[in-house]
């Protein structure tokens, strides 16, 4: 942890301007060797980002790398789960079917793919049919974004972090090999833990960015200390089991502290660069995405005790 904390406190707080997602990705990769642990990488890349959208990109990519630790981390990836009925396991209709030659085919539509046409590899959550008890069995499949049968249609920019593209995806009989179908249950091993992993990494990246702003704007040292403490707490939880109810209880506390801190610094924003302040006002809703899901997860965690 010392390497990360030293970096956040001593590295130049004047980020280089990033033109697009690909520039942000190059910066992310350049930091990877120095910060091999995924949460460290998210926070450091967030600190180096000139916009929250690019901090999010690094947090999101670091989260996928943590979910798939055996996969190379040199490709922009998108986890593709959400369909028109939502992201609940029962709503997944994209079908993984066996082909006659031992391979598989993927057919279906994903209504919201983060990174959209910028993604190089797609991590697709698909249904392998009902189980003996009638539950939807999920598997996770790796698909090249340029594979035959993959169509990505860019969606309008979101009102926040518009720098990050999004798309709707159609899969039409996309052929995949058995090696591209990841081992394990698609929900319990991948989709469910990713919700927690993504929260930790994205918040680490955004608060890395906030610490950069705090240092550049000359905010009180106590504010910088609190921001650093949130990052340190997220880093610790990033090393724990994302399915643990105890982790979810502690994470609920960290999110509460983070929310309180963002409210506390509202009075400090007039001292920041105006363009940075305006982007914060535009992009702050990012932190509230999946807030209801987090609240339900926290309630379930407390019930387990």
Q: Which pLDDT band, with edges at 50, 70 and 90, does 149 fall under?
A: very high
pLDDT(79) > 90: yes
Q: Give the per-residue pLDDT at 132.
A: 79
pLDDT in tens, 221-246: 999 999 999 999 999 999 999 999 99
Structure confidence at residue 110 (pLDDT):
97
Q: How high is the pLDDT of residue 87?
A: 81
Q: What is the pLDDT of residue 60?
A: 98
Per-residue pLDDT of 172-219, as tens digits, reads 999 999 999 999 999 999 999 999 999 999 999 999 999 999 999 999
At 85, the pLDDT band (50, 70, 90 cuts) reads confident
pLDDT in tens, 98-115: 987 889 999 999 999 999
pLDDT over 90, % of the chain: 90
Q: Where are the domains of the chain?
A: 2-67+189-303, 77-181
Give 29 or 102, the one with higher predicted confidence.
29
The mean-pLDDT minimum among 27-36, 43-52, 131-140, 163-172 falls in 131-140
> In the prediction, which pLDDT does 90 show?
86
Mean pLDDT throughout 17-23? 95
> How far is Cα 211 from Cα 228, in angstroms, rounded to an integer?
7
pLDDT of residue 131: 83
Q: Domain 77-181 is classified in which CATH homologous superfamily?
A: Butyryl-CoA Dehydrogenase, subunit A, domain 2 (2.40.110.10)
Judge whether 298 and 305 are in contact, CB under 8 Å. Answer: no
Q: Judge whether residue 24 has pLDDT over 80.
A: yes
pLDDT of 89 reads 86
What's the confidence (pLDDT) of residue 169? 98
Please give the torsion angle defined by the CA atoms of residues 7, 13, 18 and 21, in that order, rounded to the nearest 10 degrees: 40
The distance from CA 160 to its chain's CA centroid, rounded to whole angstroms, is 15
Which pLDDT does position 122 carry in this prediction?
98
pTM, two decimal places: 0.96
- Summary mean pLDDT of the chain: 95
Tally of CA atoms within 13 A in the half-sphere of 106 that contains its CB? 34
């Amino acid at each position: 942890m010392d390497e990360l904390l030293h970096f956040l406190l001593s590295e130049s707080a004047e980020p280089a301007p990033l033109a697009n997602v690909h520039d942000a990705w190059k910066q992310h990769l350049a930091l990877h060797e120095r910060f091999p642990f995924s949460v460290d990488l998210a926070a450091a890349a967030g600190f180096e980002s000139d916009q929250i959208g690019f901090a999010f990109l690094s947090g999101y990519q670091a989260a996928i790398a943590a979910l798939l630790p055996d996969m190379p981390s040199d490709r922009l990836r998108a986890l593709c789960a959400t369909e028109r009925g939502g992201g609940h396991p029962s709503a997944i209709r994209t079908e993984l079917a066996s082909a006659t030659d031992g391979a598989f085919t993927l057919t279906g539509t994903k209504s919201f793919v983060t990174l959209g046409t910028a993604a190089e590899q797609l991590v697709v959550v698909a249904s392998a049919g009902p189980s003996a008890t009638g539950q939807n069995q999920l598997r996770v499949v790796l698909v090249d974004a340029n594979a035959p049968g993959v169509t990505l249609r860019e969606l309008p920019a979101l009102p926040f972090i518009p720098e990050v593209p999004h798309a709707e995806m159609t899969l039409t009989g996309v052929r995949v090999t058995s090696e591209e179908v990841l081992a394990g249950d698609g929900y319990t091993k991948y989709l469910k833990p990713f919700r927690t992993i993504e929260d930790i990494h994205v918040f680490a990246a955004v608060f890395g960015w906030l610490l950069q702003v705090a240092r550049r704007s000359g905010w009180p040292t106590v504010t910088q200390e609190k921001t650093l403490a949130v990052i340190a707490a997220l880093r610790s939880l990033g090393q724990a089991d994302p399915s643990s109810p105890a982790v979810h209880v502690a994470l609920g506390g960290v999110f509460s502290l983070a929310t309180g801190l963002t409210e506390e610094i509202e009075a400090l924003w007039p001292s920041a660069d105006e363009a940075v302040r305006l982007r914060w006002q535009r992009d702050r809703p990012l932190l509230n995405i999946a807030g209801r899901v987090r609240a339900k997860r926290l309630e379930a965690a407390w019930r387990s005790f």
